[in-house]
Amino acid sequence: MRAGGGCISRRATLVLTGVVTLVVLAGTMSACTRVELWAANVPALFGRYTRHSNVAYGPLPQQRLDVYVPDVPRSDALPIVVFWHGGRWESGDKRDYRFVGAALAGLGYVAVLPDYRHYPQVKLEGFMEDAARAASWAVAHAADYHADAHRLYLMGHSSGAQMAALLAPDPRYFEAVGAPVPPVAGVIGLSGPYDFLPLTDTDLEDMFGPPERYEDSQPIHFVHAGAAPMLLVDGEADREVLPKNTRNLAAALRAEGDRVTLFMYPKLGHADTVAALSEPARGRAPVLAAIAEFIGQP
């Protein structure tokens, strides 16, 4: 992502798709490989949850999701959190984020981690329609996993945070897939691009174009009074998505009287906000505790 313009560059793709690294153990975070992601996900294999993998939410191969259900018995239905991975809208895989599903299940929530189609196979409308399908699936099947469809939270990191923040206030994507607009209890955005015009990369211009539609890609342009509460988390050391994106969105929400909780961590970079959900990196910032406070008790 370009530090000057606040939009994601090609160079940042590896940072966005590889979020957790073995260097966590030394107290730093950087771009990482599949091997390093595997190492960070190892502790998540032993959590107290059941993982239902590759469940279809649509007819296409990319329209698959994993569901993480806490093993601890509960008398009441649980909150359900849908998390979209980052990857500059061009790459990423839900399997690399098992640590996110495990962390959310560890809080007592049902976590849904979808894959979705990427650019250039699709543009904005395509991956947002996949987002709407996944969220609709979560609502329709909440009871199957002892979850409460009225406690639906949309969550994402980086480009996934943009998708979550865009889906909640804009009903067009649900209408496009013939689904009712669900009640959203809250949105959680980690290091997201919410206010990143002007576009300076040709692929982003194509992805979000034509120019008269660029504003459709900006969550800040959909802020309105009565919007779902938001938890926004970012690092002041983020050089991939400039922190101004998070600050600007928080300010716009407050100006409309909407509830927003903002955490800006001085030493965190772009990947650190989601990496802090993994067991090896939780000491870097209390992101998981912020999520627990925002959603509340199961």
Would you list the domain boundaries of the chain? 10-295
CATH number of 10-295: 3.40.50.1820
| Percentage of the chain modeled with pLDDT above 90 | 80
Residue 142 CB contacts under 8 Å (≥ 6 apart), including other chains: 77, 80, 110, 148, 149, 152
On the question of pLDDT at 297 being above 90, the answer is no
pTM: 0.90
> Averaged over 235-262, what is the pLDDT?
97
Residue 244 near residue 6, CB atoms below 8 Å: yes
On the question of pLDDT at 69 being above 90, the answer is yes
| pLDDT reported for residue 74 | 76
| pLDDT reported for residue 39 | 61
pLDDT (tens digit per residue) in 104-161? 999 999 999 999 999 999 999 999 999 999 999 999 999 999 999 999 999 999 999 9
| pLDDT reported for residue 16 | 37
| pLDDT reported for residue 12 | 41
CA–CA dist 268, 172 (Å, integer): 34
CA–CA dist 52, 147 (Å, integer): 14
| pLDDT reported for residue 42 | 76
Residue 11 CB contacts under 8 Å (≥ 6 apart), including other chains: none
For residue 211, name the pLDDT band (cuts at 50, 70, 90). Answer: very high
**CA dist 98 to 2, 221, 225, 232, 249, Å?**
28, 32, 35, 21, 28
Two structure tokens written together for 40 = 């960070």
CA–CA dist 291, 178 (Å, integer): 31
| Percentage of the chain modeled with pLDDT above 70 | 87
pLDDT (tens digit per residue) in 3-54? 334 454 443 443 333 443 333 333 333 344 455 566 668 777 778 899 999 9
CA–CA dist 33, 232 (Å, integer): 27
Evaluated on CA atoms 239, 241, 243, 244, the torsion sign reads positive
| pLDDT reported for residue 35 | 54
Averaged confidence pLDDT in the chain: 89
On the question of pLDDT at 93 being above 70, the answer is yes
Q: Which residues sit opposite 113 in a β-bridge? A: 66
Amino acid at 122: V
Two structure tokens written together for 137 = 């699936």
| pLDDT reported for residue 298 | 82
> Averaged over 259-264, what is the pLDDT?
98
